[in-house]
């Protein structure tokens, strides 16, 4: 079954046979022989929310058909800055190495964030896109996800590794790196370069988390240039995938010339 993304019919449309196998059409079965299961049924929507990602579709929050990949252009915004990082394996890496060679989605997060429209949402969208790449070889080999924490004191490599294990539904699919800045000074430089505003909340025990920040996810092309910036109002997985595919088509056109 072929499902088109971004409203277009391009050569890079997504095939999701794995999904089809996983969800036979006649598989809705309830088991009421355990009280706990009954309790679960009362929370069906919440429980469904924890399940693995499905293909994103038009809904009331994103009530439109996204433009077809390649039918529009994404202007260069600026070069993606470099910086010294520690990844979730406690290895030193350069941000430059995580933003070149593949089309990269770079998301600034911190794991203690509980603001519904911020990090949880951004990571959820990245999870969804990662899931899509499991069944899309083009995305799997051409795309990279990077979740970069701006809370290095708390988000140690060990915590990022644990976080990574929990937000990633699939072990296969495109590369997904979790990292944080190597030092406070490096973090400040990176935040300034990416215009990522972060403030300490007055109440450290604020239920939404100790830091206030704007949501930023960056689309970076293979040459390391920022081509789009998303926030909660524009971080529609369909638009993001359409943008990634637009850049892929752009690469294909350039290589033909």
Partner 1 sequence: MKAILSDWRKSKKFVEQRAELYHLWYRFNPMSSGRKLGDEAASQLASRATLVTTARPTNPTKMKTPLNHLHTARFSRAIFCATILCTLVFSANVLRADETCSSPYLARIDGQEEFVYVWTLGVEGMGDGSDKLVTVDVKPGSPSYGKVVSSSSVDGRNEAHHGGFTDDRRQLWLAGLESSRVFIFDVHTNPAKPKLTRTIDNFAETTGGAVGPHGAYALPGRVLIPCLSNAKDKGGKTALVEYGNDGNYITTHWLPTKEDARGASGAEFADGYGYDARVLPRKNALLTSSFTGWNNYTTDFGKLTADPEAMKHFGNTMVMWDFHARQPKKVFEVPGAPLEIRWAWGDKHNYAFTATALTSKLWLVYADDRGEWQAKEVAPISDVKGGVLPVDISISSDDKTLFVDCFGDGKCRVFDVSDPQKPKQIYEKPIGKQVNMVSQSWDGKRLYFTSSLLARWDKQGADNEQFLRGYTWDGKELKPAFDLDFTALKLGRPHHMLFGSTKIGANRTSVASIR
Q: Does 1 bind partner 1 (CB under 8 A)?
A: no
- Using CB under 8 A, which residues numbered 186 to 225 contact partner 1? 187-188, 191, 195, 197-202, 207-209, 211-212, 214, 216
Residue 60 interacts with partner 1 (CB under 8 A): yes or no: yes
- Member of 11, 41, 90, 92 binding partner 1 (CB under 8 A): 41
Report the alpha-carbon distance of residue 257 to residue 254 in Å, rounded.
5
For partner 1, the binding residue among 3, 15, 94, 117 (CB under 8 A) is 117
How many chain residues bind partner 1 (CB under 8 A)?
A: 98
DSSP-derived secondary structure letter, 150: S
Residue 115 C-beta-side C-alpha neighbours within 13 Å: 17
CB 110 within 8 A of CB 211: yes
Q: Which residues contact 55 (CB under 8 A, 6 or more apart)?
A: 3, 5, 14, 16, 19, 132
- Between 57 and 255, CB nearer to partner 1: 57
Length reported for the chain: 257
Q: Is the CB of 35 or the CB of 254 nearer to partner 1? A: 35
Q: Rule CB under 8 A: which of 126-165 touch partner 1?
A: 127-128, 150-151, 153, 156, 158-159, 161-163, 165
- State in Å, rounded, how far the first CA of the chain is from the last one: 33
Q: Which of 9, 97, 141, 233 binds partner 1 (CB under 8 A)?
A: 233
Told to check if 170 binds partner 1 by CB under 8 A, we report no
88-114: b (≥16 Cβ within 10 Å) or e: beeeebebeebbbebbbbbbbbbbebe
User: Which position among 4, 9, 15, 78 is part of the footprint of partner 1 (CB under 8 A)?
Assistant: 78
Among 9, 11, 17, 64, binds partner 1 (CB under 8 A): 64
Q: Which pair of structure tokens corresponds to residue 255?
A: 């290589």
Find tokens 């989605």 and name the residue: 105
**Binder of partner 1 out of 55, 93, 96, 189 (CB under 8 A):** 55
Least CB distance to partner 1 at residue 126 (A): 9
Binding mask 81-100 for partner 1 (x = CB under 8 A): --------------------
d(CA 190, CA 26): 50
Establish if 23 lies at the interface with partner 1 (CB under 8 A): yes
One residue of 2, 34, 205, 256 binding partner 1 per CB under 8 A: 34
Radius of gyration, alpha carbons of the chain: 19
CA-to-CA distance for 99 and 226, rounded, in angstroms? 9
Asked whether 74 and 225 are in contact (CB, 8 A), the reply is no
Closest to partner 1 by CB, 98 or 108? 108
């Amino acid at each position: 079954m072929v499902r088109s993304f971004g409203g277009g019919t391009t050569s890079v449309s997504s095939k999701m046979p794995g999904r089809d196998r996983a969800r036979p059409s006649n598989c809705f079965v309830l088991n009421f022989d355990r009280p706990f299961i009954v309790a679960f049924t009362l929370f069906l929507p919440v429980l469904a929310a924890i399940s693995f990602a499905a293909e994103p579709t038009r809904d009331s929050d994103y009530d439109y058909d996204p433009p077809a990949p390649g039918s529009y252009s994404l202007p260069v915004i600026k070069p993606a800055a470099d910086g010294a990082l520690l990844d979730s394996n406690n290895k030193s890496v350069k941000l430059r190495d995580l933003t070149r060679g593949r089309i990269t989605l770079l998301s600034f997060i911190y794991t203690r964030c509980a603001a519904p429209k911020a990090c949880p949402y951004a990571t959820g969208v990245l999870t969804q896109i990662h899931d899509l790449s499991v069944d899309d070889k083009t995305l799997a080999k051409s795309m990279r996800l990077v979740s970069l924490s701006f809370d290095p004191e708390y988000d140690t490599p060990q915590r990022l590794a644990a976080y990574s294990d929990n937000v990633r539904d699939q072990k296969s699919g495109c590369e997904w790196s979790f990292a944080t800045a190597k030092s406070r000074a490096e973090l400040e430089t990176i935040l300034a370069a990416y215009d990522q505003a972060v403030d300490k909340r007055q109440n450290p025990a604020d239920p939404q988390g100790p830091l206030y920040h704007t949501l930023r996810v960056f689309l970076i092309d293979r040459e390391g240039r920022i081509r789009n910036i998303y926030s909660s109002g524009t971080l529609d997985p369909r638009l993001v995938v359409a943008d990634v595919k637009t850049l892929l088509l752009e690469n294909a056109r350039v290589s033909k010339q």
